[in-house]
């Protein structure tokens, strides 16, 4: 069964909502469980949608956007699993595999967005410097709008316009180019850290930076907790040392002051 134009438009509209939700991680309607169910409902096969939802959700359970990484796109996987199962008559389980190229292409689009949107930060800084917070808000929300737009176009083309074309496109993208984008994504945080260090780093803090770096290199753990504990311990030590120094200085000053006072009295005699 083919997808009608109306169904294509409806799915595109839903993709916008789910896309914004995924971008913000708001209500989790971007998870395949919900995406498949709604897509199934929109093309008039609710039961297929629910069953595909259960299967795809489990298949994507481990693919999570933790720590700013981007997994294969769960929205396109959900939509295309149901659409492919509906149009080709494949079982939902097979359709999951066939939906993967769409899901991976959308993943690349989002990764590209992460990189491109770095360009807006300069403008955002300018608005803040001038105190134009309304304009700042608009430039912060702009990426969300652009992402929504990308979802609407991509999902409509995948569902209604050009399923075959999309598949060829995914397969024909030169690997060095897609690989280059992946690499750039891995290196770009360095720009953010460079900016952070520009405002925070003083020569006396370099040793701590190196300690944190070394600790993270050799302690294999899922998150930065060990490094944070080391940092907290160092901060604690420094706090104690500085406080002691301050107290000693205060005592010295008091002594100096009392000596001066004594001196003054002697002069008076």
Minimum distance, C-beta of residue 73 to other proteins, in the bound complex (Å):
15
Pick the closest to residue 79 from 114, 112, 53, 51 (CA basis).
53
How far apart CA 170 and CA 134 sit, in angstroms, is 39
- 248 lines the binding site for other proteins (CB under 8 A): no
Dihedral angle of Cα 165, 171, 177, 183, to the nearest 10 degrees = 120
- Decide whether 121 or 157 has the Cβ nearer to other proteins: 121
Question: Using CB under 8 A, which residues numbered 36 to 75 contact other proteins?
Answer: 37, 46-47, 50-51, 53-55, 57-58, 61, 64, 66-68
* Binding characters for other proteins, 120-149, by CB under 8 A (x = yes): xxx-xx--xx-x-x--xx-xxxxxx-----
Q: Which of 76, 119, 101 is nearest to 165 (CA)?
A: 101
169: contact with other proteins by CB under 8 A: no
CA 176 – CA 178 distance, rounded (Å): 6
Binder among 91, 213, 250, 256 for other proteins (CB under 8 A): 213
CB contact at 8 A, 87 and 2? yes
Distance CA 27, CA 18 (A): 9
Contact 17, 29 (CB under 8 A): yes
Q: Is 268 in the site for other proteins (CB under 8 A)?
A: no
Q: Is 235 in the site for other proteins (CB under 8 A)?
A: yes
Q: Any idea of the CA torsion for 149, 151, 152, 157, to the nearest 10 degrees? A: 130
Q: In the structure encoding, which two tokens stand for residue 230, read together? A: 């080391």
**Comparison of 146 and 157: residue with beta carbon closer to other proteins:** 146
Neighbours of 212 (CB within 10 A): 16
Q: How far is the CB of 160 from other proteins (least distance, A)?
A: 24
Out of 1, 149, 169, 228, name the contact with other proteins by CB under 8 A.
228
Cβ-based neighbour number of residue 10 at 10 Å? 18
Binding to other proteins by residue 252, rule CB under 8 A?
no
Question: Smaller CB distance to other proteins: residue 68 or 268?
Answer: 68
- Which of residues 128 and 255 has its CB atom nearest to other proteins in the complex? 128
Residue with tokens 């002697």: 266
Binders of other proteins among residues 86 to 125 (CB under 8 A) are: 114-122, 124-125
Among 2, 164, 202, 267, contact with other proteins (rule: CB under 8 A): 202
203 binds other proteins (CB under 8 A): no
Smallest separation (angstroms) from other proteins to the CB of 196 = 5
Contact between 215 and 230 under an 8 Å Cβ cutoff? The reply is yes
Which of 2, 172, 186, 203 is close enough to bind other proteins by CB under 8 A? 186
Out of 2, 171, 222, 266, the only residue in the binding site for other proteins (CB under 8 A) is: 222
Nearest to 158 by CA among 82, 76, 219: 76
Q: How far is the CB of 154 from other proteins (least distance, A)?
A: 18
């Amino acid at each position: 069964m083919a997808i009608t134009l109306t169904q294509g438009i409806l799915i595109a509209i839903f993709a916008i909502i789910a896309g914004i939700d995924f971008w913000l991680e708001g209500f989790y309607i971007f998870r395949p469980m919900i995406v498949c169910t709604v897509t199934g409902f929109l093309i008039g096969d609710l039961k297929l949608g629910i069953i595909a939802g259960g299967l795809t959700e489990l298949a994507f359970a481990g693919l999570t956007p933790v720590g700013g990484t981007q997994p294969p796109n769960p929205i396109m996987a959900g939509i295309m699993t149901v659409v492919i199962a509906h149009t080709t008559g494949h079982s939902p389980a097979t359709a999951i595999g066939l939906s993967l190229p769409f899901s991976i292409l959308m993943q690349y689009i989002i990764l590209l967005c992460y990189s491109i949107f770095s360009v807006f930060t300069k403008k955002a800084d300018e608005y803040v410097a001038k105190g134009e917070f309304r304009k700042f808000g608009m430039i912060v929300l702009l990426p969300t709008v652009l992402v929504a737009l990308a979802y609407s176009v991509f999902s409509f083309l995948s569902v209604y316009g050009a399923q075959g074309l999309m598949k060829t496109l995914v397969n024909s993208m030169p690997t060095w180019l897609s690989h280059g984008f992946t690499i750039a994504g891995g290196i770009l945080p360095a720009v953010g850290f460079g900016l952070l260090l520009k405002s925070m780093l003083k020569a006396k803090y370099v040793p701590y930076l190196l300690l944190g770096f070394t600790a993270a290199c050799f302690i294999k753990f899922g998150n930065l907790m060990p490094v944070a504990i080391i940092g907290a311990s160092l901060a604690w030590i420094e706090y104690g040392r500085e406080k002691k120094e301050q107290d000693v200085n205060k005592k010295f000053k008091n002594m100096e002051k009392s000596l001066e006072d004594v001196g003054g009295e002697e002069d008076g005699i």
